[in-house]
Amino acid sequence: MSTSLMKTLASRNSLQRLGNLCRNGSTSSTDPCGTYDLVVVGGGIVGCATAREMLSRHPSLKIAIVEKEKAVAMHQTGHNSGVVHAGIYYTPGSMKAKLCVEGLKLSYDYFCKNDIPHKKIGKLIVAKNEKEVKRIDELHQRGLKNNVPDLELVERDCIGNYQPNCQGQKAIWSPWTGIVDWGLVCNHFAEDFKKMGGEIHLNFEVTGFSELAESKGKGELVPISVQSKNKCILAKYVLTCGGLHSDRLAVMTGCDLNPRIVPFRGEYLLLSDSKKSICVTNIYPVPDARFPFLGVHFTPRMSGDIWLGPNAVLAFAREGYSWFDINVRDCIEMAKFPGLYKLCFKYIVPGLHEVLKSVFYPLAVKDLQKFMPEISVKDVKRGPAGVRAQALDKDGNLVDDFVFDGGEGSIGKRVLHCRNAPSPAATSSMAIAKHISDKLETDFKF
């Protein structure tokens, strides 16, 4: 028997004995505890992808996912635009740029292998004026530096070849951009994980982490008790992928409060059935570097719907999918956070414009008409919304790249946090899973 296998079996036996303590009432938990080598907190696409990747690398490990909702993919994963991004926008050399391009190829391979419905419909990024033409040339160069596959510059007279009736001065054509149901993909990851022997605990909202007192002084690694209401499970190591609650989970293990998560709601409009056929590809504006979000765009969906948007407005709850979703705790935290005030002051004019577009959606239609003049207010209605977990530092700067962090002390040093994973996290999920798994293997000696 190999040394590494003997260590794994010994560790598991140790954890099992401690699990028996929990079942026999030695903790305050009223429900039986599970015992695991690794617990992943969060059943979104990053958490499920990473749990799947770790178990495929280490089949002998006992791994669990805990998720506070009744199913996986209930928040950001299940409420996004469904775009498979190609990696054009991101700063060359950043983790976003590298992992998005890598994740793009891994994702398409996975879709095909598992018969997941998807469409590689492409994307046009369209410049409306000469000022934007200069920016689009710069964006094209950025995409090339990021190794985005098969990018093309499209002159004015040829834009209609890719999207009939679309108007602009110049465009970028990205043929690898596509669409998929990321919630469905996440569920496939979760099913893969369970088939390999992984366990998923739903309705398990983590309220804290502690060391099991009964095990201290025994010369063995003290397990971490991952606590929820009236139950707990034991883990040798923990990975958190908490999305909208990632900062709170990090603070529980001794990490700094920053970066803080500030929720931004993105609201979509729906194109009427009579006009759905006019949109055959994703149509995006040229992003303005002065502002933090991409602007309204046309997004075909796998369902056949066409989503128009989103805007970006501050949500009054971390899971606030409408103006009427208000969480007092979330609002108090935001009111006490100076970084939010600095951000609002920096973007006060565009921020107010976003609020107006939310209340009076015909204003958003005017933005859309710059690309497709034939669309009118009567052709749209209010649609779904998602909430973006945007990390913000204390100076009011949006944290643009993925952030991974560890805590302090005997618990914190055995916990890895994924603290910021906004778009393109879904496209990048399989690449992020490889990156995190590499880090888990290095830091925790799996």
CATH number at residue 226: 3.50.50.60
284 and 201 within one domain: no
In a domain, 29, yes or no: yes
The Cα angle at residue 418 between residues 412 and 419, in degrees rounded to 5: 90
**Beta-bridge mates of residue 72:** none
The pLDDT score that the predictor gives to residue 23 is: 41
Same domain, 342 and 205: no
Buried residues in 212-222 as b, exposed as e (16+ CB within 10 A): beebeeeeeeb
Q: Parallel, antiparallel, or unpaired: how do β-strands 380-392 and 260-271 relate? A: antiparallel
Residue 308, pLDDT > 70, answer yes
Q: Based on the fold, state whether residues 160 and 68 are members of the same structural domain.
A: no
Label residue 357 by pLDDT band (50, 70, 90). very high
Is residue 83, in this structure, part of any structural domain at all? Answer: no
Judged against a pLDDT cut of 60, whether residue 179 lies above it is answered with yes
The 10s digit of each residue's pLDDT in 360-391 is 999 999 999 999 999 999 999 999 999 999 99
Checking if the pLDDT of 142 tops 80, the result is yes
Instruction: Kindly state whether residues 203 and 171 are assigned to the same domain.
Output: no
The answer to whether residue 437 sits within a structural domain is yes
What's the CATH number where 164 sits?
3.30.9.10
Higher pLDDT, 66 or 288: 66
Q: Examine the domain organization and report whether 161 and 124 are in the same domain.
A: yes
Instruction: Give the residue numbers spanning the domain of 37.
Output: 3-75+183-258+402-444
What is the structure's pLDDT at 5? 45
Q: Is residue 28 part of a domain?
A: yes
Instruction: State residue 292's pLDDT score.
Output: 62
Q: 349 - beta bridge partners?
A: none
Cβ within 8 Å of residue 204, ≥6 positions away: 66, 67, 68, 228, 231, 233
240 with 274, same domain: the answer is no
Would you say residue 113 lies in a domain? no
Q: Are residues 365 and 300 in the same domain?
A: yes
213 confidence band (pLDDT: 50, 70, 90): low
Q: For residue 140, give the 3-state DSSP assignment.
A: helix
Average predicted confidence (pLDDT) for the chain: 90
Whether residue 69 sits in one domain with residue 7: yes
**Ranges 15-19, 59-63, 291-295: which has the least confidence:** 15-19
Quick one: average pLDDT of 24-32? Answer: 41
Q: For the chain, how many structural domains are there in total?
A: 2
Q: Let me know whether 415 and 429 are in one domain.
A: yes
How many beta carbons lie within 10 A of that of residue 403, not counting itself?
16
Same domain, 187 and 174: no
Q: Are residues 287 and 365 in the same domain?
A: yes
Reported as a pLDDT band with limits 50, 70 and 90, residue 290 is low
Please indicate, yes or no, if residue 109 is contained in any of the structural domains.
no
User: Quick one: 200 and 170 in the same domain?
Assistant: no
- The average pLDDT across 13-22 equals 47
What's residue 222's pLDDT?
A: 84
Looking at residue 386, its pLDDT comes to 96
Judged against a pLDDT cut of 60, whether residue 218 lies above it is answered with no
Residue 34's pLDDT band (boundaries 50, 70, 90)? confident
pLDDT for 289: 67
pLDDT of residue 372: 94
Residue 171 lies in a domain: yes
Has residue 85 been placed in a domain?
Answer: no
